[in-house]
């Protein structure tokens, strides 16, 4: 048993449901007790979905406990088949069904003889994998199912498209800024004259999965989901894949170069050269390269930051901070414990220390110890930041509803670099403001030191000190005044001179 | 009485394929209510993820609840349950030092038959902290019934009544002291005068059960005090250490419709006398509730009718807004019967009352009240659907096109996109809806989507689904 207050990644079935409900016309049936269908709430609330989430439960209650599900699951599958006519029904086990050890595969076999839909059992073990691993696995399972089916039926068309084309694999519901990223990736591919063959699972139809092999290569933007599918497609259909996340200027360029390599491997007559495109985008379309040279960004040099999130985002943001903006990353970490090796390799040399944990208190303690100027993390780190009074930019799931913005906010591609630059810059206290605050000892916090707001009743400021006070910029003047008076009271001084002001400032900064 | 009701009212029962919150969600409000408690939910990641998502930001305020997350070793009994729980509870004792630890059993502990009830007394002895076990699992219960299981378990921990007599003496002594200082404040003077009037009337002790925010609890107490009824205690109390005394002289009355197990426990195990009344939701419900309590104690109510009338007067602006409008309860928190009864009295038409579970005996007075309200308002009885089927309900809603659907969050946005106004039912669980004072709050919630509509109505984008998708739902 583990004492837990909060978790970064959800249980396995959430991953399966996210993949299933991302496809068009796929219905998931959970084998679960009443109340486990809160996935519908999450999707309906966070993504502000207009449609009913295609997830229902085959309820496990006392009777099921006593006698087994018997006909219930099969009935629920066939009922859903009649009501909704989905292409595919995914029977989803939960923690409950994994201990009940009912033969769910048997239900699936029986149901698929009577229903028009395809029926599969999601192959995930609640106690072995988390949400992200389960999502990766389920996507691969669905793709494999349909490709093997097409192979058997002899309908698989493996001929490549005439023009270079790509599949984008791993965009799905409740993913961090996934919708925006998808649009940005499509734009990037379009700029490179590459057609988008299929995007899966978001908005994809399982009927179209058999045309996946027609693409020239696969693009897997995120580390967490899609990789298994890409590896399956490479192994069985010889499809190459690009798994470099195009986040940040350097990595986007690297991703484009990889794409170029794969395209040139297949193109016969005219080799493509994307270097001019990369150069043009980097220097003039994306503002991030210019921004990192601008004097604004200079103020960030050497500032301490902490990064925490899923493997993809934490690794990419760490490298952007260090390589592209000159910020010092004191610690970077991820909760994707299953991907520790990869993560360490990615951030090697970019940070002082690496933290791999899924315990948010460890992350909190680390942040408190390091006291960075800014945090880049999940919603949990944002709350840690609030308690420690350190600004935080949210860069990764788990997220709240405000991380599903209506406006266009990709993290990937060249527009993504702009968004990230804004996010990073705005998270740190603005340069000039910061400078002034340092000189004048902090914001005017309206700290109450006497009962009345005006504090000049028992203290007199001599003429010189009043003049000096007036020279201080308005927004910190009150603070300076209060600090000085506090200092004076502590030292039983009744008349404040310029010297006292300086002494107060020294005492404060000491 | 229950038979008589069933004859007139018709109850349907569907498949139970409906959306509701897991009963473990009760820790969200109970840990706030019982200030010296710690709730330990013994379950899996699924339970934990539900709590963290359903309860949103509350998780960040260092809550006094946590998961004892079961791992593979616990499920396969490679680890010893008792040792594991002891280790966690010791840590909780060290970090928080609560006056009580409440173990919430979940589906998983049921399935693997973890003997929480057996382990608790042993560990309680070793630890020196009371451990209360409540099986609030999704196999047996829905949403608010979680509170019912916790309060039922807690009812066993209330002290016996004879100690109550001693307490009374102490209180009387206190009140004589108070008399000395009563000139200090008007409020105290009020209390003491009331006390003396009670002494003259003398009714048996009354304990109310149901967790309410402390302001609402004191509003209800003072409402009764106006009628010279003294509330001698609440289950639960603000602190676990102050639980009320129970015994065969004690009368008990519920404030919420979902507390049937607690009621049963109080009657059967603690020998209390249950006052079956409608629930104090809405001014009509509050009046009926008070009247019933007073009638049991042979007290004649005074100015109650005027008080109710006054509240209705104050609600006039809201009533104008909802009169004649129709409402459909999908059902998920067991407050449905009482809310429907109140809304019918407000002049609304209720098409359907979905409800997860209906205890016809515990809710008998409320059901009768509903029936009378329908008769008085001259509208047909709504259909009451137990264990509803959300899919079928949505079909019915499509035909009926209600002006308002009271529904869970899973369906709210999709229904709104189809032009049906919704109010999240969960809000009724967390808002203050009891007593005369809060009647306005209920209508504030009910009318919010309608008021929103008054602003947006003429913009012409009420249906926001793509045509092809309109066939699809659930």
**How many degrees, rounded to 5, is the angle at CA B413 between CA B412 and CA B415?**
70
Query: Is the per-residue pLDDT at A322 higher than 80?
Result: yes
Q: Which of A296, A358, A422, A434 is catalytic?
A: A296
A328 to chain B, any CB pair closer than 8 A? The answer is no
List pLDDT tens digits, range A421-438: 999 988 886 555 666 666
Parallel, antiparallel or unpaired: strands B65-69 and A328-334: unpaired
Q: What integer pLDDT is reported at residue B190 of this predicted model?
A: 42
A408 to chain B, any CB pair closer than 8 A? The answer is no
Nearby residues of A265 by Cβ (< 8 Å), 6 or more positions away:
A240
List pLDDT tens digits, range A158-205: 899 999 999 999 999 999 999 999 999 999 999 999 999 999 999 999
B394 to chain A, any CB pair closer than 8 A? The answer is yes
User: C-alpha distances in angstroms, B350 versus A225, B336, B371, B413?
Assistant: 47, 11, 12, 21
Q: What percent of chain A has pLDDT over 70?
A: 93
Residue A466's pLDDT band, with cuts at 50, 70 and 90, is confident
Question: For chains A and B, what is the number of CB pairs under 8 angstroms?
Answer: 170
Residue with tokens 């003889």: A113
- Mean pLDDT taken over chain B: 87
List pLDDT tens digits, range A115-168: 999 999 999 988 889 999 999 999 999 999 999 999 999 988 889 999 999 999
Residue with tokens 């002289």: B249
d(CA A252, CA B204): 78
Q: A221 phi and psi, to 5 degrees? A: -70, -30
More confident residue, B38 or A468: B38
Residue with tokens 């038959």: B113
Query: Is the per-residue pLDDT at B173 higher than 80?
Result: no
List pLDDT tens digits, range B300-317: 999 999 999 999 999 999
User: C-alpha distances in angstroms, A464 versus A260, A495, A499, A503, B157?
Assistant: 70, 11, 10, 15, 72
Q: What integer pLDDT is reported at residue A509 of this predicted model?
A: 64
Contact: A52, B394; criterion CB under 8 Å: yes
d(CA A356, CA A359): 9
Instruction: Tell me the Cα Rg of chain A.
Output: 28
For CA atoms A422, A427, A428, A434, the dihedral sign is: positive
Q: Which residues from chain A sit within 8 angstroms of residue B67, using beta carbons?
A: 2-5
Asked if residues A292 and A326 have their Cβ atoms less than 8 Å apart, the reply is yes
For every residue of A378-408, DSSP letters joined together read -HHHHHHHHHHT--EEE-SSS--GGGS-SS-
Asked if residues A197 and A190 have their Cβ atoms less than 8 Å apart, the reply is no
d(CA A199, CA A352): 38
Active site residue A296: yes
Q: What integer pLDDT is reported at residue B101 of this predicted model?
A: 97
d(CA A469, CA A501): 9
Residue B179's pLDDT band, with cuts at 50, 70 and 90, is very low
Spatial CA neighbour of A243 closest among A217, A220, A215: A220
The token duo for A2 is 């583990």
- Mean pLDDT taken over chain A: 90
Q: What integer pLDDT is reported at residue B201 of this predicted model?
A: 58
List pLDDT tens digits, range B398-440: 999 999 999 988 999 999 999 899 999 999 998 899 999 899 9
Q: What integer pLDDT is reported at residue A465 of this predicted model?
A: 86
Lowest mean pLDDT among A377-381, A459-463, B263-267: A459-463
CA A129 distance to own-chain centroid: 19
Query: Is the per-residue pLDDT at A19 higher than 50?
Result: yes
Q: Helices marked H in B241-315 — which ranges?
A: 260-268, 282-296, 304-314
d(CA A233, CA B191): 79
User: Which residue from B23, B60, B410 is facing A37, i.e. has the nearest CB?
Assistant: B410
Query: Is the per-residue pLDDT at B169 higher than 60?
Result: no
Contact: B45, A11; criterion CB under 8 Å: yes
Mutate to test the interface with A, among B13, B18, B60, B145 (most CBs of A within 10 A): B60
A235 to chain B, any CB pair closer than 8 A? The answer is no
User: Which residue from A1, A37, A383 is facing B70, i.e. has the nearest CB?
Assistant: A1
For A:100-119, CB contacts with B below 8 A are: 100
Asked if residues B440 and B394 have their Cβ atoms less than 8 Å apart, the reply is no
Q: What integer pLDDT is reported at residue B188 of this predicted model?
A: 41
Question: If you average pLDDT over residues A325-353, what whole number do you get?
Answer: 95
Contact: A5, B59; criterion CB under 8 Å: yes
Spatial CA neighbour of B279 closest among B258, B304, B305, B307: B258
User: C-alpha distances in angstroms, B65 versus A273, A349, B39, B86, B98?
Assistant: 59, 40, 4, 16, 11
ipTM score assigned to the predicted complex: 0.86
In three state form, how does the secondary structure of A200-261 look?
Answer: EECCCEHHHHHHHHHCCEEECCCCCCCHHHHHHHHHHHCCCEECCCCCCHHHHHHHHHHHHH
Spatial CA neighbour of B74 closest among A5, A126, A338: A126
CA dihedral (A357, A358, A360, A366) in degrees, to 10, reads: 10
Asked if residues B106 and B40 have their Cβ atoms less than 8 Å apart, the reply is no
Q: What integer pLDDT is reported at residue A483 of this predicted model?
A: 83
CA A321 distance to own-chain centroid: 16
Nearby residues of B401 by Cβ (< 8 Å), 6 or more positions away:
B420
Asked if residues B199 and B209 have their Cβ atoms less than 8 Å apart, the reply is no
User: Of A47-51, A250-254, A270-274, A403-407, which one has max mean pLDDT?
Assistant: A250-254
Q: What integer pLDDT is reported at residue A400 of this predicted model?
A: 83
More confident residue, B456 or B413: B413
Strand order in the sheet with B422-424: B11-13, B383-386, B349-355, B326-329, B404-407, B422-424
Fill in the DSSP letter of residue B434: B
d(CA B265, CA A434): 63
Residue B183's pLDDT band, with cuts at 50, 70 and 90, is very low
Spatial CA neighbour of A63 closest among B36, B15, B250, B180: B15
CA B173 distance to own-chain centroid: 35
3 state DSSP class of B103:
strand
Q: Which residues from chain A sit within 8 angstroms of residue B139, using beta carbons?
A: 33-34, 60-62, 65
Fill in the DSSP letter of residue A283: I
3 state DSSP class of A358:
coil
Q: What integer pLDDT is reported at residue A443 of this predicted model?
A: 58
Q: A319 phi and psi, to 5 degrees? A: -70, -35
How near does any CA of chain A get to the CA of B78, in Å?
11
Q: Where are the beta strands (DSSP E) in A102-176?
A: 118-121, 165-171
Q: What integer pLDDT is reported at residue A495 of this predicted model?
A: 87
Spatial CA neighbour of A53 closest among A73, A23, A75: A23
Query: Is the per-residue pLDDT at B455 higher than 60?
Result: yes
Nearby residues of B202 by Cβ (< 8 Å), 6 or more positions away:
none
Asked if residues B85 and B129 have their Cβ atoms less than 8 Å apart, the reply is no
Q: What percent of chain B has pLDDT over 90?
A: 71
Residue A298's pLDDT band, with cuts at 50, 70 and 90, is confident
d(CA B232, CA A304): 59
Q: What integer pLDDT is reported at residue B290 of this predicted model?
A: 96
d(CA B275, CA B254): 8
CA A110 distance to own-chain centroid: 39
Residue with tokens 């309820």: A59
How near does any CA of chain B get to the CA of A289, in Å?
37
B368 forms beta bridges with: none
Q: Helices marked H in B240-281 — which ranges?
A: 260-268
List pLDDT tens digits, range B42-97: 999 999 999 888 766 456 556 788 999 998 888 888 889 999 999 999 999 998 89
d(CA B83, CA B85): 6
Q: What integer pLDDT is reported at residue A448 of this predicted model?
A: 44
């Amino acid at each position: 048993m583990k004492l837990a207050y909060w978790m970064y990644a959800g249980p396995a079935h959430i991953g399966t449901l996210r993949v299933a409900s991302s496809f068009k016309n796929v219905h998931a049936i959970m084998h679960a007790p009443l109340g486990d269908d809160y996935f519908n709430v999450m999707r309906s609330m966070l993504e502000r979905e207009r449609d009913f989430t295609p997830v229902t439960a085959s309820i496990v209650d006392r009777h099921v406990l006593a006698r087994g599900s018997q006909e219930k699951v099969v009935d629920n599958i066939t009922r859903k088949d009649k009501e909704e006519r989905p292409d595919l029904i995914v029977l989803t086990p939960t923690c409950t069904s994994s201990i009940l050890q009912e033969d769910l595969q048997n239900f699936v076999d029986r149901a698929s003889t009577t229903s028009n839909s395809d029926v599969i059992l999601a192959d995930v073990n609640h106690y072995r994998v988390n949400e992200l691993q389960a999502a990766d696995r389920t996507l691969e399972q669905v793709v494999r199912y349909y490709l093997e089916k097409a192979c058997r039926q002899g309908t698989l068309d493996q001929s490549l498209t005439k023009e270079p084309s790509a599949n984008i694999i791993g965009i799905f519901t409740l993913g961090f800024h996934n919708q925006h990223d998808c649009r940005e990736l499509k734009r990037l591919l379009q700029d490179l004259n590459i057609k988008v063959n299929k995007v899966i699972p978001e908005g994809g139809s399982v009927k179209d999965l058999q045309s996946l092999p027609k693409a020239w290569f696969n693009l897997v933007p995120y580390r967490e989901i899609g990789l298994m599918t890409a590896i399956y497609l490479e192994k069985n259909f010889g499809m190459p894949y690009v798994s470099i996340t195009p986040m940040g200027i350097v990595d986007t360029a690297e991703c484009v170069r990889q794409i170029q390599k794969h395209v040139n491997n297949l193109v016969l007559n005219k080799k493509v050269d994307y270097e001019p495109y990369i150069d043009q985008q980097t220097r003039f379309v994306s503002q991030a390269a210019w921004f990192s040279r601008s004097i604004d960004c200079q103020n960030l040099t050497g500032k301490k930051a902490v990064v925490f999130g899923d493997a993809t985002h934490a690794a990419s943001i760490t490298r952007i901070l260090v390589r592209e903006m000159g910020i010092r990353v004191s610690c970077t970490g991820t909760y994707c414990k299953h991907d520790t090796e990869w993560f360490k390799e990615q951030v090697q040399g970019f940070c002082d220390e690496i933290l791999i944990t899924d315990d948010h208190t460890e992350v909190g303690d680390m942040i408190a110890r390091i006291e960075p100027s800014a945090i880049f993390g999940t919603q949990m780190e944002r709350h840690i930041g609030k308690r420690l009074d350190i600004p935080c930019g949210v860069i990764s799931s788990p997220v709240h509803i405000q991380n599903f913005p209506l406006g266009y906010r990709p993290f990937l591609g060249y527009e993504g670099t702009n968004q990230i630059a804004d996010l990073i810059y705005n998270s740190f206290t603005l340069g000039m403001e910061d400078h002034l605050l340092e000189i004048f000892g902090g914001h005017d916090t309206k700290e109450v030191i006497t009962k009345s707001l005006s504090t000049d009743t028992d203290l007199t400021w001599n003429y010189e000190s009043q003049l000096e006070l007036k020279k201080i910029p308005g927004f910190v003047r009150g603070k300076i005044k209060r600090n000085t008076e506090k200092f004076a009271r502590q030292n039983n001084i009744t008349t404040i001179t310029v010297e006292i002001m300086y002494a107060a400032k020294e005492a404060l900064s000491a | 009485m229950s038979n008589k009701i069933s004859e007139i009212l018709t109850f349907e029962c569907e498949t139970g394929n409906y959306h509701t919150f897991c009963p473990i969600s009760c820790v969200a409000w109970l840990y706030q209510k019982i200030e010296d408690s710690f709730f330990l939910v013994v379950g899996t990641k699924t339970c934990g993820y539900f709590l963290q998502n359903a309860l949103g930001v509350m998780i960040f305020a260092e809550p006094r609840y946590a998961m004892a997350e079961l791992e593979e070793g616990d499920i396969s009994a490679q680890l010893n349950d008792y040792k594991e729980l002891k280790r966690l509870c010791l840590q909780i004792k060290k970090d928080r030092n609560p006056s009580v630890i409440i173990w919430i059993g979940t589906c998983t502990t049921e399935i693997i038959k973890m003997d929480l009830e057996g382990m608790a007394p042993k560990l309680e002895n070793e630890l020196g902290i009371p451990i209360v076990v409540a099986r609030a699992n999704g196999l047996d219960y829905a949403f608010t019934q979680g509170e019912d299981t916790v309060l039922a378990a807690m009812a066993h921990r209330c002290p016996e009544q004879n100690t109550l007599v001693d307490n009374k003496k102490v209180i009387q002594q206190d009140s004589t002291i108070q008399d000395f200082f009563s000139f200090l404040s008007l409020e105290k003077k009020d209390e003491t005068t009331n006390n003396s009037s009670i002494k003259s009337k003398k009714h048996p002790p009354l304990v109310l059960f149901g967790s309410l925010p402390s302001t609402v609890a004191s509003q209800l107490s003072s409402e009764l005090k106006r009628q010279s009824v003294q509330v001698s205690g609440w289950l639960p109390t603000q602190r676990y250490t102050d639980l009320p005394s129970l015994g065969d002289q004690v009368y008990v009355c519920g404030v919420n419709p979902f507390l049937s197990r607690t009621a049963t426990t109080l009657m059967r195990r603690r020998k209390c006398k249950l006052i079956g009344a409608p629930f104090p939701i809405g001014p009509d419900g509050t009046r009926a509730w008070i009247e019933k309590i007073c009638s049991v104690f042979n007290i004649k109510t005074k100015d109650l009718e005027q008080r109710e009338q006054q509240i209705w007067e104050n609600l006039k602006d809201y009533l104008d807004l909802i009169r004649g409008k129709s409402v459909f309860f999908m059902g998920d928190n067991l407050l449905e019967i009482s809310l429907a009864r109140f809304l019918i009295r407000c002049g609304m038409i209720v098409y359907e009352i979905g409800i997860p579970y209906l205890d016809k005996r515990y809710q008998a007075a409320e059901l009768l009240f509903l029936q009378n309200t329908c008769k008085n308002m001259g509208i047909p009885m709504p259909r009451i659907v137990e264990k509803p089927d959300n899919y079928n309900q949505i079909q019915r809603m499509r035909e009926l096109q209600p002006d308002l659907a009271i529904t869970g969050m899973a369906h709210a946005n999709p229904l709104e996109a189809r032009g049906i106004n919704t109010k999240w039912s969960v809000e009724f669980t967390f808002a203050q809806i009891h007593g005369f004072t809060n009647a306005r709050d209920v209508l504030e919630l009910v009318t919010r989507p309608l008021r929103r509509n008054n602003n947006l109505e003429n913009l012409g984008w009420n249906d926001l689904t793509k045509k092809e998708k309109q066939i699809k739902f659930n």
